[in-house]
Structure formats: structure tokens, C-alpha cells
Chains A and B, each alone.
Chain A
Amino acid sequence: MLLSTGSNPEGHGKNAAPGPRDEPLLVADGIAKSFNGVPALRDGRLVLKRGTVHALCGGNGAGKSTFLNIVMGLLHRDEGSIRIDGMAVDFRSAADALRHGVTIITQELSPVPEMTVAENIYLGREPKIGGLVVDFPKMRQAAKRLLDDLEFDVPVGARMRDLSLAQIQLVEIAKALSHRADIVIMDEPTSAIGEHEVHILFNALKRIKARGSAIIYVSHKLTEIFEIADEYTVFRDGRFIESGAISSIDRNHLVTQIVGHEVKTVEKGKPNEGAPILLEVRSLSRGSHFKNISVTVAAGEVLGIYGLLGSGRTEFLETIYGIHAPTAGDVFLDGARVDPGNPKKCIQRGMAMVPEDRKDTGLVLCASIAHNIALSSLALRAVSGFVRRKAEAAATDRMMRLHRIKAASPNVPVETLSGGNQQKVVFARCLLTNPRLLICDEPTRGIDEGSKQEIYAFLREFAAKGNGVLVVSSEAPEILQISDRIAVFRQGRLDHVVDGHETTQQMLTDLAS
């Protein structure tokens, strides 16, 4: 039963049901939720129409996740109503929500790596012969029909561990739809995949739309929202602010609604002509990751590196910073060669790095803000191995104020902070080593718009003091906004270095693909 429904739109109970197509699929109104008397959501509203992608926008603390958790049945609302297809619903659990056709695809995908695509899709509800033995041929057929129907290019027999992240995501979507999900919630689906894969994903979303399902789409990447969404809703401070058709607004309007006030975009001045070279990379190679790359960063300059995921850009940064040893080539800082393969030495020489994945490589999540901020520079504030606690506290305090890190105390674990504040902690840690060259890999990933602008401003300011910045981003508007020059990576090679003041987004994406 279950097997056939998902892959066969005609047999789909809800889609086949009569009723006006333009009646909203989901209407949420006046949703409120408090935790221990502290309201997290005061007035959540959303009207989701069939066959649309609906962007739910808002900064950290806007109440988006609380709202979605209520829609998903993970939290129970205090007030308000939710109707699906005109029927009032009140979900008690995620399974309950799933029965009503609501499913979520989160940032943390959960495939079983050793199982095949088909096995993953039907995990826990395998078709069985005589109720005992798994009917593998039937399962494969059903999975193949499902994927073909969606035009997802994923082999059903492949093991999950052999798939790319984007393919895994497609499998998760197929799995969701095989549950006859009408409403698919996607939370930051593109945070871990590259531009090409985003393209595949968006094509898939378009096909899902065409089937009459609807998607609630959450992303901090505004470019994507303008590309894929049909409608939008903005929450701020736990309240519904406005909604409408995405075609009727522009980027600035959306940012203003999310942040609550006009955001000044960072102005970048031209760097001084003839400024001394700070970083020089000479013919650097590392195996198959990147080959023969030479580039310089002048004092006062922000050099952007633009390239697709897998273009070797992250490995390039990590090799400069000494996490990996190069197979050939050298790195010079202030004209002197840097010992390869030793981050500690790089820090001592004046480098600092904000890694791509702050949870995986940037922060000790279970440790406190203070301990994280001080981590790289402990030796600077220690006497014969003993930490000078007063000096440390003063430095931490200064950094927290400087970067406006919002937390109850410097002693709370960083895992309790929002993404933006966590990223600021990483920046603070890097700055305490008094770096001259700041290396940033996707510094605004998964961060809300307000914090993004603060980070841009900070990077420009840092460079303006005569330091250098090397920044990787896969968001073209971002790289254009902050870089003086842009190095375009393609398949492990540095093809072009273009002027950041004169290049357009279109030129950049053309060069990279």
C-alpha cells in the first residue's frame, strides 16, 4: 500500500480528492508558545498554498524554529490554530504530523551509510513476503518508480555512503514524499552543498511543486530565496511581520523586514596602491586537491576566493594555514617562508583561521565562551604554563564587548549560543592571537542577515588597519560585496583573478562553472 502511493500521483488520496486547488493547504494563525513564561513565539502566522515554495524568513530568535516545531508536532502550542485542507489539526508527535502529510528535511541528514538507497527509503516499513522476509525486488522496483517519477538521478542500488550530499538529500526528499507528504519543511537544505547541487535540488523542488505539494523553505541565503520561492513570510521577535509574493519585493526590502531597520551595506574603499605584500603563495599544490597556485594578498586587502564546492578552495586555505602539508610550493608571510603543516607555527607567525564548519572544526562546543575565546592565545597570557586568569578574563570581556556576543555570562557553553554568536566567538578567538592575516572559510554560513553584515563590516575594518584577509565564499553577492580582488577556483586550479570592484555576479558564476 504505502509503497505504491508515493510513487503514483494518481493514486495519491489527498491530491486526487476534489476541492478547489487554490484553497490554502495549511493555515496557521495566532500561534503562540512560551517556555517557562518567556514567550518564544507570540503570533505566528503562515498561509501555505498548494504548488508553492514558501520562504519563512527571520533572524535568530525570530521564532521560526519554534513555529516549525509546532507545525511538526514536536512542540505543543499554547494558543492559535492550525488547519490543513480546512481541517483543524492538533499534532501530538512528529509521527502524528507525518500521518497528516507534514514532514521535515533537516540540516542533519540521517541515512544509514551501509544500506542501499531503496533500503533507506523504506527503512522500517519494508515490503515483506509473508510478513517476515523482506521483498527486495519489490522494494527496489517501488524505489525506482518513485525516483524516476521525481526525475531524481540516483541509482536505487547504490549504497548511501557512495552518494554525494546532494544525492542523499534527494533520497531524503523522495523518502518524505513516499510518506505521502503534502507539506515538506526544509530547514537550511543548502548549507552543506555546492552551487551545482543546489541547482539539482531546486529542479527537484520545482517538480514537487508541480505535483501539487507545498514546501516551507527556511534559509539564510537570500539569493536562494529569490531564486526558488514563490511567496514569503517574515517573522521578527516572535511575531508575524508580513507576507506576500516574492516577485513583488526586492532584496533590500526583505533584509529590512528581517532585521527591523535599514541595513547599511558595507562600503569598501580601494586599498592603497603599492601596499606591501603580506601573504605570498608560490606554486602551491596538494595532491589532487589543487595544483600550482600562486597568489598574493597585500596589506589592507581582502582577497576573495570564489569557487564551487569541491573546487579545492577549502583545502587551499587549510594548506596555507598548515592543517595539511603541501605536496609542492611555499607560503611566505611578510617575505619569510612559513613552515608547512603546522598551524601552531602559523598562528605564531600571525595567521588566524575561521574554519568552514564552526561546529566541526571551529569550536569546542561543550566548553565555555571564555575558554573558547582564549584557546588559541592561552600561551600569550600564561606564565610558565600557568594561565593568568585576570588577564584572560579581561581579554575575554573585551572581545565579547567588541564583537557584541550576546550571552548570559562568559561561562556558558558555546553550544547554547545562536549560530551568529558562535561565529563571533570563533572570530574573537582568532583575533586574540593578534593576527595580521585572517583566513575565513565561508564565514557567514548559516548566519542571519544582521550578523552577516556585522561580519562584513568587521572584515573590511580589519583589512583597513593594514592587515590582510583571505576569504572563501560560495555566495557570489557576498564575495562581491567584501573583496578587493577575487580569485576564481575551478577544479583545483586558479583560473582568474578579477577586480572585486568591477566584476558582476553573472561574470563570476560564468568564470567558476
Chain B
Amino acid sequence: MVANAISNVATGARSKSIAAVGPYLKSFSIVIVFVVISAFFAVANEYFMTWLNWVNLLRQSSINGVLAIGVTFVILTKGIDLSVGSVMALAGMIAASLVTSTNQHFVLWAIVAGLGTGAALGLLNGVIVTAFNVPPFVATLGMLSMARGLTLIFSDGRPVPNLSESFRWIGGGSVAGVPVPVLILFLVFAIGWVVLSYTTFGRYVYAVGGNDKAAKTSGISTRTVIASTYVISGLLAGLAGLVLTSRTTAALPQAGIGYELDAIAAVVIGGTSLAGGRGSLVGTLFGALIIGTINNGMDLMGVSSYYQQLLKGAIIVVAVMLDQFRK
């Protein structure tokens, strides 16, 4: 069904494929896919189109969305960050340890510690990639394991429960009926979008990913730009870790296993090229929403999780096929 929708969109895109509207059409087509999937679930299930369910859906997509936005920066520079799932676990764990009943600090310190952990590990990724020329896949694969190891060492393999009320607000609270994680997602998206579209740094990210040699010749400090994207990815993994830990009200050493794959999937579905230089956060946001919608909608309909996995995989592949097709 989704495949149908996507190919319909693809033929539509092809017939009007004028180079100038290409990029817009691209972010537009992902919105159409999202609308088609939503419309299907809306017809198939009476609860899908309720306000409450949309709040759920957005909240359920928020952690993956935040991670995916960070990973988008990295992928735009032709890199990859496999470590976000583990980094978020460590950041959440360190933050949680500062707001337990036995070790209670002001919640701001926990937030700073969590974000700082994420940014520091991201910086380490960036330095390993840029200063030592380790391929990003290898560097962040190493970090995936190292950060998980650190999480287990730090926690001695045990969960950290009983977090303070104010810390739990990050994942569980809401403002004017909108859950805090959703506000965080939209805020991160807005900032990320402005950075990528309106700042020199954003342009450099695209340029470095499109052609790093040309970027260097143009006077861009390519290493700084690339390393910065890993810091951003790490920082947002830290933020996602705070939300996750707060949401589950306990920091778990096994938290976030496999989350990097959903984040990369969201980026890819959103049309960002793994070859770098092309893509947008709008695509990523809708990529994350599509994954969230599929999970949510199929849960609502009681579809076996086995089929959910099958369909999610198919959508990822079709999205990239569509991308190749358009080229």
C-alpha cells in the first residue's frame, strides 16, 4: 500500500521533473507519503484521527526525531553516526545519577551533565574522524560499543530509579496540552532548520558533504565543520537521552539499543543522501513521523509486530529506490 503510494508520487515527480523545482518536490513528496499513510490509518481505525492519538504519535516520534535531526547533520557531510543509541544511554544515565533520591541536585545540573556528555562524546567522534582520518563508520561503531561499555561501568549494570519530580517533567510533562518531548522536538527542528538554511555553517555542511575538496579550496575549514556535525549529533543524542530517561523514569543500562538504526532510517526515508550534500531536515522530520505513524497505526490496528518490521524495512528500501529514481 505504501509502496503504491510512493510510486504514484514518484511518477508524479518524474513528469514534472524540472531541475529547479526538484528539491522542493522532494521534500513535498515525503509529505504526500506521510499524508497517504495517515489517511490509510484514519480510514482503517477510528481512533487514529483523534487529538489524543496525535499527541501520542508525536510524543512517540519525538526521541527518534531528535536523534535523526542530529544524525542528518552528520549524514549531510557524507558521514554516519552509529553511536547515538549508546551515547543517549550514557548521557541519560549520568544525568539520572544526579537527580536520584539519594543524590539530589538541581535539575539544571543534570541537564547540563547529560548534554555535556553527549557533546563530549560527539566531539571525540569528530576528532577521531577528522584528525585521525578514521572512517566515520568505524569511529562511531567503536563509540557505539565504548559508550555502552561506559554506561554499564558507570551503572554497574543496574538501573538508576527514583528520579526527582522536576526531572521527570522533561519527558512526562506538558505545556498547554502539548507534551514537553514534542515541544523539544519542534524546537530542535526549528533551530536545526534555521542553522542549515540560514547560516554560513549550514551552507558549509552542505558544501563539505557535496565535495569536500572543493569546500577546502573555497576556504572552508572542512575538519572543523565535520567535527562540529558530530558534536551536534552527540549533543542531540544527549538531549534524547534526557527525554528517554525522564520518560521511563529510570535510567536503564540497556536503553536505546538499536535506536541509531531508526534514526538513520528516518534520515534516509526523508530523502537525505548517504553520499552527502543533499537532504533536508523537513524530510528527516517527516521520516521520523512516518516511522512513528507506522508503529502507532499498526499497533492501533493490532497488526503483528513481525509484519511491522517487514513493512518498515520495505519502506526504507523503497524510499531510497525512489531517491535513485529521481536522479
A residues neighboring B (CB under 8 Å): 321, 323, 343-344, 346-348, 353, 355, 360-367, 371, 374-376, 378-379, 382, 385-387, 389, 408-409, 411-413, 416, 429, 433
Contacts and interface: CB of A to CB of B under 8 A. Distances in A.
A355 B217 contact: yes
Given A412-B20, A413-B19, A362 B199 contact: no
B214 interface: yes
B200 interface: yes
Which 3 A-B pairs rank lowest in CB-CB distance, beginning with the nearest?
A364-B210, A347-B219, A361-B213
Contacts of A364: 206-207, 210-211, 214-215, 277
A423 to B, nearest CB: 13
Interface in B277-310: 277-278
Contacts of A379: 200
5 contacts: A365-B211, A371-B207, A374-B203, A382-B199, A408-B19
B325 interface: no
B131 to A, nearest CB: 15
B20 A411 contact: yes
Name the prevailing secondary structure of the B interface residues. helix
Contacts of B198: 386-387, 389
A361 B219 CA distance: 12
A343 B216 contact: yes
A362 B22 CA distance: 23
A505 B23 CA distance: 49
Contacts of B22: 413
Contacts of A346: 219
Contacts of A409: 20
Contact of A344 (B199, B211, B221): B221
B219 A386 contact: no
A411 B210 CA distance: 15
Contacts of A321: 217
Residue among A365, A367, A386, A408 facing the most chain B CB atoms (10 A cut-off): A367
A363 B214 CA distance: 5
Given A343-B219, A362-B217, A367 B206 contact: yes
Nearest to A376: B218
A366 B19 contact: no
A346 B163 CA distance: 54
Contacts of A347: 218-219
Contact of A366 (B201, B210, B217): B210
Nearest to A353: B217
A38 to B, nearest CB: 13
A413 B201 CA distance: 20
A364 B218 CA distance: 10
A261 B277 CA distance: 41
Nearest to B194: A386
Residue among B198, B200, B213 facing the most chain A CB atoms (10 A cut-off): B200
A343 to B, nearest CB: 5
Contacts of B317: none
A367 B277 contact: yes
Contacts of B201: 385
Contacts of A371: 203, 206-207
A321 B19 CA distance: 34
B220 interface: yes
Contacts of B219: 343-344, 346-348, 376, 433
Interface string B153-184: 00000000000000000000000000000000
Residue among B19, B22, B216, B218 facing the most chain A CB atoms (10 A cut-off): B218
A338 to B, nearest CB: 13
Contacts of A343: 216-219
Contact of B220 (A355, A360, A361, A375): A375
B207 A375 contact: yes
Contacts of B215: 364, 375
Residue among A343, A382, A389 facing the most chain B CB atoms (10 A cut-off): A343
Contacts of A344: 219-221
Contacts of B19: 408, 412-413, 416
Nearest to A361: B213
A389 B199 CA distance: 10
Interface in B252-289: 277-278
B278 A361 contact: no
Contacts of A412: 19-20
Contact of B216 (A323, A348, A365, A367): A323
A204 to B, nearest CB: 32
Contacts of A413: 19, 22
B143 to A, nearest CB: 28
A347 B218 CA distance: 8
A346 B211 CA distance: 20
Nearest to B18: A408
Nearest to B276: A366
Interface in B15-71: 19-20, 22
A342 to B, nearest CB: 9
Given A344-B220, A346-B219, A362 B214 contact: yes
A375 B221 contact: no
Nearest to A410: B20
Contacts of B203: 371, 374-375, 378, 387
A344 B216 CA distance: 8
Contacts of B216: 323, 343, 361
A433 B204 CA distance: 16
A387 B201 CA distance: 9
A355 B217 CA distance: 8
A223 B281 CA distance: 50
B219 to A, nearest CB: 4
Nearest to B24: A411
B214 A361 contact: yes
A363 B207 CA distance: 9
A276 B50 CA distance: 76
A355 B218 CA distance: 10
A95 B198 CA distance: 49
Contacts of B204: 378
A387 B194 CA distance: 11
B278 A366 contact: yes
Given A378-B200, A408-B19, 10 more contacts: A344-B219, A347-B218, A361-B216, A364-B277, A365-B211, A366-B277, A375-B207, A378-B203, A408-B20, A409-B20
Interface string B218-254: 1111000000000000000000000000000000000
Given A364-B215, A412-B20, A387 B200 contact: yes
Residue among A371, A378, A433 facing the most chain B CB atoms (10 A cut-off): A378
